[in-house]
Amino acid sequence: PSPRATRMKHVASVALGLFVLIGPLATSPLAQGAGDPPDALEKRHRGAAPPSSASASASADSAAADSSHAGSDSTLVVRLGPPYRPSPVFVALRDFRLERSVGVERTTWGEADDPITPPGFGTLADALRLEPDVRTRELSQGPTAESFEIGGSGSDRAELLTSGRSLRLPDTSGPHTNDVFLSEVRGLSLVRGGASALFGPNAVGGALALDTGVSIPEIATVRLTPEEGTDDLLRAAFQFSRRFGRNAAAAMQVETRTFEGFFPGTKESDRFVSAASVFRLPRDLEGSVRWRHARTDGRHGGFEPALVRSVLADRDELRFEAFRPLGESRGALAELGWLSETIDHGIGGDAPEKRSYSTPSLRVTADLPSVGGAALVGRAEAERWRVSYASTGEVRTTWLAATSLRATKGEAGRRSTATARADWDHHRAPAWQGRLEGELSLGRAIAYGIAAHGERRPDERAALPGTNERHVDGRVGLRYRGRAGALDLAGYGRRIRNLRRDPTFEEIRAHLPVLDAPVGDAEISGASLTATGVPWTLPAGLGRLGLTSAVGWLRAENTTTDTRLPGRPTFTWTGDGFVERRFFTDELLLRLRGRLSHWHDRVDGTGASVEDLWLTDVLVEGEIGDVVFYLRFHDLLERADEVEPGIRFPGYSRMYGLTWRFRG
């Protein structure tokens, strides 16, 4: 047998052994009680900054006072954090999840080049694509939040994972998707914050209460996720959660991950331990404490010995959060955090460079008194970064601060929103951001427009530390929703001054000051059309069928050098569909999904033409009893622009997911 087949046999053996060993927990005291705070998969992007402290967990009982819900045992609370940073969403307790995965799904493919994501106009039920028999309650507090979109083209704003999981696994090949599954939801209610707390580039922590209509037992969970293909990955996790009466809950998770990449010698081993607690205090205070430890030991190979990298990192994170309501539809959230990290990082034959980070942070967010009928949300935050280099003894200290204010006026169908944000760093020039949004209802259609200005400060090693990358953006769109489905038409444009590029390995290794020097100005413009059909119920009890198709056109040029920007296709097309059916009196659910995508006319970093990219993506998932499983295969037929010059490989991957829950 091939080495790959041998590895997969080992994976199956480990999975079977782990299940046999942990199976007795199903009858132990740990697996009995009342309380099942679910988890949310951390949304991570390759090369992105670590998640901030913006999102916070909330007690599973925090919506019990809402009269529209039957009781705390059937209510989950979802905290939606600011999506302008790579930040997860937490449900009841961080990192814990209900495993029912039927119902709603939203996907994103190829949105990275879209300079502005549209606001989620339309109803919340439309955005979530709820089942027809799932009713949405009137949002009980503050302005209506029906303009909030989860998934789709606005998926970078937030992801909601009350049940199911995102199909995007961290640090693996394949497309970025943000699939959202939502089931067993009987009602939705906004329980803290106004509508402006739930969407936009500077969204603050709002909360939605989801009435599941079912009792939530205490639970222990084992999860295995093997993957093979361009990269090989094996993840194993054990989770346990417990509630203590009506006012407190705690949870813990242990996870291990082994990764073997495409490049020769690329191996990584990661270990994670986390614990969380949420509680309710007197005077309507709600609090949470979260601790997480991560250890990474890896070697990232390549075809050139000088580019082989080694990484050994230890990271500890501690967060304290407190929330207090300020009247019927307002609240304030305070967050205090501490991050400590030590990294040994070596490239080629160089001796490893050891760096240590320590970062205390404070953030306060509050709904402010309305002015002229506009709902206001403000935020102030500060961080202190201390970085020490063991090889030279150098210590760098940086203070960061930011303030933001968001005003929303009007109701759904006739609403306008303004957002302003300023970031300060005592080493560099401040960065300013602003955004205006408006929408107008036209019967079954909604027209909207966006104008925005943003800045991105250069890296600390930049040759021009006082020069920010500046963006000016505009977008107009029309969204029509009829009985048969929906059509979304949008056009957008962006102008960039002082465009910066990603660093090369050679520049990182040599610490060249040109790392973030501007490479000119740029212009990006484009249009997109998406058609989504209402899922059809097939005859003879064959299940349901849903189809979606999207086309996009993009022009991206460096106006200084009169060259095209690399990696951005001129034309994109994506078509996907799903069919699902329940068997054995709804005890077994099977869903089959397929997607075909095409990227046409791209160039690499040298300006040379790159072959068209075709992607096939097939997912089979099912659940029976307390076991949830899925099998996913995707084949990225050409990825020559993502590896070293002259090196090509098929970007295929097969992913297997298996979860077993033990409950009392």
Q: Where are the domains of the chain?
A: 3-663
Per DSSP, 505 falls in state H
CA quadruple 564, 567, 569, 574: dihedral, nearest 10: -170
Q: What are the E-state strand segments in 412-484? A: 414-425, 428-442, 445-456, 469-481
Rounded to whole angstroms, how far apart are CA atoms 228 and 7? 9
Q: Both ends of the chain: CA-CA distance in Å?
A: 42
CA quadruple 460, 464, 465, 466: dihedral, nearest 10: -160
Instruction: Give me Rg for the CA atoms of the chain.
Output: 24
Give Cα separations from 583 to 457, 590, 619 (angstroms): 55, 8, 18
Q: Which are the contacts of 645, defined by CB distance < 8 A and separation ≥ 6? A: none
pLDDT in tens, 157-195: 222 322 222 222 222 222 222 222 333 333 344 333 333
Q: What is the largest CA-CA distance in the chain?
A: 74
**527 has a pLDDT exceeding 50:** yes
pLDDT in tens, 39-80: 222 222 222 222 222 222 222 222 222 222 222 333 334 433
Rounded to whole angstroms, how far apart are CA atoms 259 and 271? 12
Please report the pLDDT score of residue 194 as a whole number. 36
Rounded to whole angstroms, how far apart are CA atoms 247 and 62? 8
Rounded to whole angstroms, how far apart are CA atoms 54 and 383? 13
Got the DSSP string for 567-608?
T--SEEEEEEEEEEEEETTTTEEEEEEEEEEEEESEE-TTS-
Average pLDDT, the chain: 61
Confidence category of residue 636, pLDDT binned at 50, 70, 90: low
Over residues 387-393, mean pLDDT? 80
**378 has a pLDDT exceeding 60:** yes
**11 has a pLDDT exceeding 80:** no
Do the beta carbons of residue 104 and residue 49 sit within 8 Å?
A: no
pLDDT in tens, 328-354: 556 777 889 998 988 886 665 556 677
Residue 63 — left, alpha, or beta (φ > 0 → left; ψ -120 to 50 → alpha)? alpha
- CB neighbourhood size of 609 (10 A): 11
Rounded to whole angstroms, how far apart are CA atoms 360 and 502? 28
Please report the pLDDT score of residue 5 as a whole number. 54
Rounded to whole angstroms, how far apart are CA atoms 40 and 45? 15
Please report the pLDDT score of residue 274 as a whole number. 82
Q: Which are the contacts of 573, defined by CB distance < 8 A and separation ≥ 6? A: 549, 550, 551, 552, 597, 598, 600
Over residues 137-149, mean pLDDT? 23
Which residue, 422, 421, 452, is CA-closest to 435?
452
Q: What angle do CA 171, 596, 134 make, to 5 degrees?
A: 85
- Is pTM beyond 0.85? Reply is no
Do the beta carbons of residue 634 and residue 617 sit within 8 Å?
A: yes
Is the domain 3-663 a CATH 2.40.170.20 member? yes
Which residue, 102, 96, 92, is CA-closest to 129?
102
pLDDT in tens, 649-660: 455 666 676 766
**440 has a pLDDT exceeding 70:** yes
